[in-house]
Amino acid sequence: MHPGDGCFRLHQRLVPVPTSQRTISRASSAAASLARRGISPTVATARLYRIAGLHWWWMPARTGQTNDLFRAAAAKDPSLVPLAERMRPRSVDEIVGQQHILGPNTLLREAIETDQVPSLIFWGPPGSGKTTLARVIAAATRAELVALSAVDSGIKDIREAIAQAERRLSEHRRRTLLFIDEIHRFNKAQQDALLPHVERGTVTLIGATTENPSFEVNSALLSRCRVFALRALEESDLRVVLERALTDKDRGLKGAFAARPEFLEHVARHSSGDARRALSALEVAAARARAERRDVLEAHDAEEALQQKTLLYDKSGDAHYDTISAFIKSLRGSDPDAAAYYLVRMLESGEEPRFLLRRMVIFAAEDIGNAIPGR
């Protein structure tokens, strides 16, 4: 095997694969072409290996891992990267919303500016900027960002990341930000594996979760972290995000489209405070308009791109209890409009009707019955 040669793991053996600039160029061009045509990653990867002179049984064991050839193609052609990913803010000043934790003189902003960021847990709904904020902190503090997802990572991955962080700190005097997405999916043993390293400062932990960390994160780990709650973006914030994506010359749509106020209003209103959902809808609407050779985005483009508004709800989490509580309080306060709204919201989100009927019977017995005992 010569330096610069690629290799693949075959039955626990490394198989050398001579590579050349011409092969890499052909494979990268093919990757871009296949991605535009919507070819599935598995089929596309097999074709790319044939271009490189390999057979399908020489493919790596972890086929779910993104292939370097696809990453190289995406780097050459940014249009292959989703608009929501391209438009991620790169600095604190670019972040829209979350002024309650990132405004002037707030604890988190001062910690970022002074490079004194402690271990953090970001708790908020999807699309509120948890991952983006972790990347911005890493860039602002000159720390190395190591990202894991609790969905497909385990203690082995944690130990590898910790070992790398220890080497980085001892050899280069550079700190490591360990970002764990969906940290609530780690079990107790996996969360406990982080404790000594967070306490010693080997890594600065940044966890992201959509679930209440008081219930889903170990109390010992919570005591070593500061919890910041991110809020769903306001409609005015989403309009700013959409307008920025429309006009951005480097990462956005480069001013190729103009959007009617009705389009922006519809997308902002029906995105449930989710910036990713709003930008994805804009990207779909722009592709539809481009196919029809139009440069103005209308309200009907927003309706087609969004289809149906997705309500933020869960079966047994905070949204479930908050909504049923609001429903009962609306009944108790004799507000029929609010009561009807929360009732329909729960039914549209898939709530069990029998659960709602039981709560209404309980309300009738406890509130109305006790208020008027003679009836």
DSSP assignment of 150-218: TTT--HHHHHHHHHHHHHHHHHH---EEEEEETGGGS-HHHHHTTHHHHHHTSSEEEEEESS-HHHHS-
User: Which residue, among 276, 257, 270, 255, has the nearest Cα to 304 in the 3D structure?
Assistant: 270
**Contact 89/241 with Cβ under 8 angstroms?**
no
Q: Are 133 and 165 in contact (CB under 8 A)?
A: no
Do both 72 and 138 map to the same domain?
Answer: no
Residues 352, 323: Cα–Cα separation, whole Å: 13
* Interatomic CA distance for residues 29 and 44, integer angstroms: 12
What CATH number has the domain bearing residue 126? Answer: 3.40.50.300
DSSP 56: G
Q: Are residues 189 and 105 in the same domain?
A: yes
Task: Give the DSSP H/E element, type plus range, for residue 366.
Answer: none
The reply to whether 130 falls in a domain is yes
On the CB side of 270, how many CA atoms lie within 13 Å of its CA?
A: 18
Given 229, 252, 282, which residue is the final one in a domain?
Answer: 229
> Tell me, what's the pLDDT at 32?
57
State whether 177 and 121 are in the same domain. yes
- Contact of 35 with 44, CB cutoff 8 Å: yes
Q: Is residue 156 part of a domain?
A: yes
Which residues have C-beta within 8 Å of that of residue 249, sequence separation ≥ 6? 255
Q: What is the pLDDT at residue 321?
A: 86
| CATH number (domain holding residue 330) | 1.20.272.10
Burial class for 318, CB neighbours closer than 10 Å (0-12, 13-18, 19+): middle
Domain boundary, last residue among 52, 79, 106: 79
* 252: CATH: 1.10.8.60
Q: Whole-model pTM? A: 0.67
The pLDDT of residue 320 is 85
Question: Which among 332, 363, 103, 42 has a CA at the least distance from the CA of 228?
Answer: 103
- Do 203 and 231 touch, CB atoms closer than 8 A? no
Report yes or no on 343 lying in a domain: yes
Q: Is residue 90 part of a domain?
A: no
Beta bridge partners of 8: 15
Structure token digits, residue 351 = 């709530």
Of the residues 207, 229, 251, the one at which a domain ends: 229
Q: Are residues 187 and 280 in the same domain?
A: no
| Alpha carbons 211 and 347: distance in angstroms, whole number | 22
Q: Provide, for the chain, the percentages of residues in helix, strand and coil under a 3-state DSSP scheme, each rounded to the nearest 5.
A: 55, 10, 35
pLDDT at residue 14 in the model: 41
Q: What is the pLDDT of residues 43-77, one digit of tens each?
A: 455 555 454 444 333 333 333 344 454 455 555 56
**Domain span holding position 167:** 98-229
At 194, phi and psi to the nearest 5?
A: -85, -25
Q: Residues in the chain with pLDDT < 50?
A: 1-19, 40-43, 49, 51-67, 69-70
